A and B are shown apart, each in its own frame.
Chain A
Amino acid sequence: MVQRAEEKSIDAPRFPRLPGVLHAVFVYSLLILASLFILLPVGWMLTAALKPDTVPVFTFPPEWFPTKYWHWETFREALFKEKFLRYTANSAFLVFMNVIGVVLSSSLIAFPFARLRFRGKNALFTFLIATMLLPAPVLLIPQFLLFYQIGWYGTYYPLWVPSFAGNAFFIFLMRQYMRSIPIELDEAARVDGAGYWTIYWRIVMPLCVPVLTVAAVFQFMWTWNDFFGPLIYLDDPEKFTVALALAAMVQRIGTEWNEVMAANLIVMFPVLIVYFFAQDKLIGGIANVGLKG
């Protein structure tokens, strides 16, 4: 009994001056306030998107949640008239190529760093980490000019081909993960006559699905949200990605703001869906990097 009482006092709330209930009220009210700060603008955006063209988007007082109007046609207009279905397809293509490219190449590169012995391994790995820290704007213009000279301006190639050379951040992440898989599996496979490719593809890769998923989700979000790349490489509006099309739509004079908000929600939607389903893996992935990196 005595011991139990002691334990309880140790686990008491962090702010001991406040009694338990007050502490809870304090924490909850701040978190609710912060959540409202996030959700009210989103609610306002949805309300605006659901209004027909005939009513003003801006009202006094603002409408935080849709009550009066449920004009779903705005979304149809954003998808077809404003071609956001097309832009979504364009972005989806780039996401697909980038995810395939980065997952395949990064795992390929991480494999020897995690599981093979070769000379210069440590030096090369240190170099890999260094490339991760190099701020990249210096490469933008020369890369642009090089791609321009080989006729890739206005095509999708500059936006996905480089992903097949791996991403230092993912290589690092995958190498850490692959190191945690028992090396005895490789040894056993080698005894059975398996080559290194078979070990990589049939043994290591299937066990790496969690870390591959993290990389795929990250890459999905980066490609989907990328702006600078499409901005400098794409000139044909038919080829625009969602982020680029959204920025172009806002700058056009005479746009309907309800359609802009609908388009904005269309752009946000796929990322949010992926986020809701993968959030635990995603947050775990970020946390790992944050703590070890």
Chain B
Amino acid sequence: MSMPSQQLGDQAKPRVRPRRSVAAVKEERAAFLFLTPWFAGLFLFLALPLGYAVYISMTDRRLISGARTHFIGLDNYVYMFTQDGFFYHALYITMKWLVLSTPLFLGAGLLLSLLLNQKYFGMNVFRTILYIPAVVSGVAVAVLWLQLLNPELGVVNYVLTRLGVENPPYWLEDPQWAMPAVLLMGLWGVGGYAIIYLAGLQNIPPHLYEAATIDGAGAWGKFRHITLPMLSPTIFFLVLNAVIDALLIFGPLFVLVGGGGSGGPENSLLFYMLYLYRVAFTQGFMGYGTALAMILTIIGVIMVFIMMKAERRFVFYESEE
């Protein structure tokens, strides 16, 4: 049915050229009409706040309404880099978290996905269970773990005692153990990573493994030379997400430290976002808080940029046919 009309359309092309261009103009006008909400959003919720942010970060803007705002140039940034010890501390804590959590979560997630990828009965049930912590709210998870990690009465230390640990750590009350406590809580959610790995694993064509078996490759060889390269786009996607998540983690920490601008014992959990919240919303220094946010965003953008550059070297994409 559609064949003749299509042919006719092709033949008629040169003759109705001016009319087609009218149609093209109409099509373009319609396209931009459809895009209106996006353009409006880009202006109202992206460009405008972004420009405003640049300005506020150069003022001493306060949260309280009576206070006068003065333009102070780069003073906020100068103060941040030369005098604000908390800034460096928060940056250090966040980077430490990033360096510890990303390999731990991504590694554990990969291991879990390799297990889930075995062709055995009941794998769906395990998959469903292991993904549960990834869907519930981070705040709810933190409320639960706050109880589990209770140093004297908590379940975690009960298990450790039963396993023969004589003086189990004080977790969230001990500056040395506060971050390991958050890592442990994070491990509870690695099923979220495992599911994405699993999708990547199941996309690897089986004939690659078959060919490797014929060539006499062992399990490790297959993992190293087939699984890892074929999985590298997935790994890249997860690293990108994990890094951004690590920079922006807030809600669960807010619960673990007890809220209200606290930073945990001896500020050992003063992550960057917690410090930003403390400065901007509990102390009310909006100008300085925005300057802090500016620097975090720049760090994030640089990291994303570096990872995108690295992608070309380390990520293997099967050529599309």
Contacts and interface: CB of A to CB of B under 8 A. Distances in A.
A209 to B, nearest CB: 19
A225 B136 contact: yes
B37 interface: yes
Interface in B37-64: 37-38, 40-42, 44-46, 48-50, 52-53, 56, 61
Contacts of A162: 41, 45
- The DSSP consensus for interface residues of chain A is helix
A38 B46 contact: no
A165 B286 contact: no
A166 B238 contact: no
B186 interface: no
A275 B137 contact: no
Contacts of A27: 115, 118, 120
Contact of A16 (B128, B195, B219, B276): B219
Interface stretch (B77-85, B99-107, B138-146, B174-182): B138-146
Interface size class of A (residues with CB under 8 A): 35 or more
B49 A143 contact: yes
B199 A134 contact: no
B98 interface: no
A63 to B, nearest CB: 10
Q: Which 9 A-B pairs have the closest CB atoms?
A: A165-B41, A287-B199, A135-B300, A58-B153, A225-B137, A227-B251, A112-B31, A138-B297, A142-B49
Interface of B: 2, 5, 24, 27-28, 30-32, 34-35, 37-38, 40-42, 44-46, 48-50, 52-53, 56, 61, 112, 115-116, 118, 120, 126, 128-133, 135-140, 143-148, 150, 153-155, 158, 188, 191, 195-196, 199-200, 203, 209-210, 213-214, 218-219, 222, 233-234, 237-238, 240, 244, 247-248, 250-251, 254-255, 258-260, 273, 276, 280-281, 286, 289-290, 293-294, 296-297, 300-301, 304
Given A232-B281, A246-B140, 18 more contacts: A24-B120, A38-B188, A39-B129, A41-B188, A60-B153, A131-B42, A134-B300, A135-B247, A135-B300, A138-B297, A139-B53, A142-B290, A165-B40, A165-B41, A165-B42, A225-B139, A264-B143, A290-B196
